[in-house]
Structure 1
Amino acid sequence: MAKIPVIEQCTVSYKDDKQLLADRLDVYLSNNRNLVFPHRHNFYHLVLFTDGAGAHEIDFKTYPVTAGQVYCMGPGQVHSWMFEGNMQGYILNFDIDYFKSLLLHPDYVENLALFSSLNESVFNLSTDTLAEVIPLFNQLVDLKYSPAEVDVKRALLLYILLKLEQDYIPSFPRKTMDYQMLLIKNFIALVDQRYKELHLPKEYAELLFVTPNHLNGVCKEYLGMQAGEVIRGRIHLEAKRLLILPDWTISQVAYELQFSDNSYFTKFFKKVEGMTPEEFRKAQWK
């Protein structure tokens, strides 16, 4: 059975540096003309648009392209492009472990709100920030690949990410990384790992050594939804990712997500999406 293609950094990098690709968007598109189909990455991916039209899609949500817009994606998300006209801007692809030897905490970038699975990381930069970061993008693009420049490129990339982070307003209330926020982060990570086999909040609460009521309360405070909604949302997202594969049957999708039968899966999907799996699939491929 076919899977949603996973694009590896080396397959889209036409430069010598296989851990970081920094380039102007028109050049990147010219070198990767066929990357219009839905696909995932195994690396971090960031685009800044300065001109152009059309749209792009991240996990089945469509965003119109606007000048000054940034989108940030972590590994595993599904996206595709529907660009129109003369696309201008910048693109950054970098390996998951790119900062491993530079930072005291290698997961620092993973913990930025820009790449958090709790957020919708598509936003427009302020005029001042846009004017400030464009020269930084140009400088990063123009740096040559050499051992002597590696840490310069890492430091410059990190500075760009931090400038974008300052301009970003997350979709959930920004709070300090206290115990409660750490609990949410661990819960989200567990859901990503175990959503196929664990469908109930009490199962995650047990693994996190808290009561179901406490987990629900913290989710409600920080995310604006209960723990069950987070779990169902993750299952629903993966169902949509699988349903766009033309050679997968509805039965295979239900089995992959460990539903007991097709009717239960169809009932679940329709309740969340508002249409049956068959209707969703037809809407995607018409």
Structure 2
Amino acid sequence: MNLIEKNSKIDRMEIPSYKLKHNEQEVTLAIRSMQEINKKAANQKDTPHSHEYYTLLWSQNASGRHIIDYKEYEMNADDIFFVRPGQVHQIEHTTNPEGWVILFSCDFLSKNYVSEQFISNLNLFSDIGSTPPIHIKPQTAHLLKEFFQHIYSIFYSEEDYKFEKIGAYLKLILMECAPYAHKPGNKENPQLLQAGGIIVNEFKRLLEVHFTDWHMVSDYAKSLNISSDYLNNVIKSSIGVTAKELIQRRLSLEAKRLGIHTEFSNKEIAYMIGFNEPSHFSRFFKNIEGLSFSQFRARLNKDLTI
């Protein structure tokens, strides 16, 4: 089984992205144990890469670190990481890992009647700028172990409705993990929080498509046919930050990804994320991050072995 297949070579042009493969065929879901992945890698060091699908990684005994969009997280027993499509990450183990990895696409979700709204409401796949793991209790770990083993067994079987069954188990796993999720929403305004779910999801979709072209809240508000103030209030009530802050985070995140994982110049990166004047990008980044982009690149390239 090929769990993932490289989609592009790493060079100065782009961060490598991976497609999901099983027996040389592109699939919408796959599962493997961390032991299998480590054995297949033959102790080769993982490199920064992104996926075109969701990743759920359960570290049962592993120690090491998981670097996601330049932020470093310790990997401890019964930590579960949830990585969104497009996030750049890298895993470094210090011991022989034990655990599970499930990868699934948006197509798999839709075919099994799992909506994007449901995924968003779980608060497991974190918003821009922060992807900490959840830490599950022993009783939850015992239950999830059974679910993962069932999925693994079904995946390699030829039984009828195998992916429908896997979809049901996957939904159970996500719902069991949901109580542990980090929830930044504003509980003081539950009506706005409930009413804003569709707006939040549509804003996030537009942000991923247009963040290099649309730098103003008004751009998104116009597309959503609402006022900028209302959009900011909905986003703030739902996830704890304003629409403006999310736009700034997304631009800063893309700059960091390109700054760490490619050899583009600062000027080239500024143009790539929609700044016509590199000086404007320099001021923007320093205001957001508290240091210059050149200082950021120098510090991260020194601190992280990439």
Task: Determine if the TM-score, normalized by the shorter chain, exceeds 0.5.
Answer: yes
Tell me the equivalent position of 2:174: 161
CA contact (8 A) 2:144 2:173 kept: yes
Is 1:25 matched with 2:34?
yes
The one-letter code sitting in structure 2 at the alignment partner of 1:88 is: E
Deviation by residue 1:175-234 (Cα, 9 ceiling, x = unmatched): 687322322222222222111111111222111111122222223323332221111111
Distance 1:201 1:99 in 2: 30
Relative to structure 1, the CA distance from residue 141 to residue 15 in structure 2 (aligned partners, 3 Å threshold; closer, same or farther) is: farther
Deviation by residue 1:233-282 (Cα, 9 ceiling, x = unmatched): 11001110111134211111011011122211111111112221111112
Aligned with residue 74 of structure 2, among 64, 86, 90? 64
Deviation by residue 1:10-55 (Cα, 9 ceiling, x = unmatched): 2xx5688833221211111222354611111011111111112111
Is 1:281 matched with 2:297?
yes
Distance 1:138 1:7 in 2: 25
Distance 1:224 1:152 in 2: 36
Structure 2 counterpart SS, 1:207: helix
The one-letter code sitting in structure 2 at the alignment partner of 1:155 is: A
The one-letter code sitting in structure 1 at the alignment partner of 2:252 is: H
Aligned with residue 76 of structure 1, among 71, 86, 96? 86
CA contact (8 A) 1:19 1:94 kept: yes
The one-letter code sitting in structure 2 at the alignment partner of 1:276 is: S
Structure 2 counterpart SS, 1:225: coil
Is 1:209 matched with 2:231?
no
Deviation by residue 1:63-95 (Cα, 9 ceiling, x = unmatched): 101111001112111111121112111111123
Aligned with residue 199 of structure 1, among 211, 215, 232? 215
Distance 1:280 1:15 in 2: 40
Is 1:270 matched with 2:279?
no
Relative to structure 1, the CA distance from residue 198 to residue 99 in structure 2 (aligned partners, 3 Å threshold; closer, same or farther) is: closer
CA contact (8 A) 1:50 1:69 kept: yes
Unaligned runs of 5+ in 1: none
Deviation by residue 1:149-199 (Cα, 9 ceiling, x = unmatched): 332222222222222224434233576873223222222222221111111
Structure 1 counterpart SS, 2:56: strand
Relative to structure 1, the CA distance from residue 167 to residue 239 in structure 2 (aligned partners, 3 Å threshold; closer, same or farther) is: same
Structure 1 counterpart SS, 2:85: coil
| Mapping for residues 94-243 of structure 1, pairs under 5 Å | 94-103=104-113, 106-107=115-116, 110-111=119-120, 112-115=122-125, 117=127, 120=131, 122-143=133-154, 144-146=156-158, 148=160, 149-173=162-186, 178-243=194-259
Relative to structure 1, the CA distance from residue 225 to residue 98 in structure 2 (aligned partners, 3 Å threshold; closer, same or farther) is: closer
Distance 1:172 1:121 in 2: 16
Q: CA deviation at 1:106?
A: 4.8
Identity of aligned residues (%): 24
**What is the RMSD of the two structures over their aligned residues, measured on CA atoms?**
2.4
The one-letter code sitting in structure 2 at the alignment partner of 1:28 is: I
Relative to structure 1, the CA distance from residue 150 to residue 222 in structure 2 (aligned partners, 3 Å threshold; closer, same or farther) is: closer
Moved more, 214-223 or 187-196: 214-223
Structure 2 counterpart SS, 1:130: helix
CA contact (8 A) 2:48 2:261 kept: no
The one-letter code sitting in structure 2 at the alignment partner of 1:54 is: G
TM-score, scaled to structure 1: 0.89
CA contact (8 A) 2:282 2:293 kept: yes
TM-score, scaled to structure 2: 0.83
Alignment: residue pair count: 283
Runs of 4+ in 1 over 4 A off after TM superposition: 13-17, 173-177
The one-letter code sitting in structure 1 at the alignment partner of 2:91 is: W
Is 1:41 matched with 2:51?
yes
Distance 2:287 2:115 in 1: 40
CA contact (8 A) 1:70 1:123 kept: yes
Distance 1:262 1:59 in 2: 23
Distance 2:280 2:105 in 1: 39
The one-letter code sitting in structure 2 at the alignment partner of 1:115 is: F
Q: CA deviation at 1:8?
A: 0.9
Unaligned runs of 5+ in 2: 1-11
Structure 2 counterpart SS, 1:72: strand
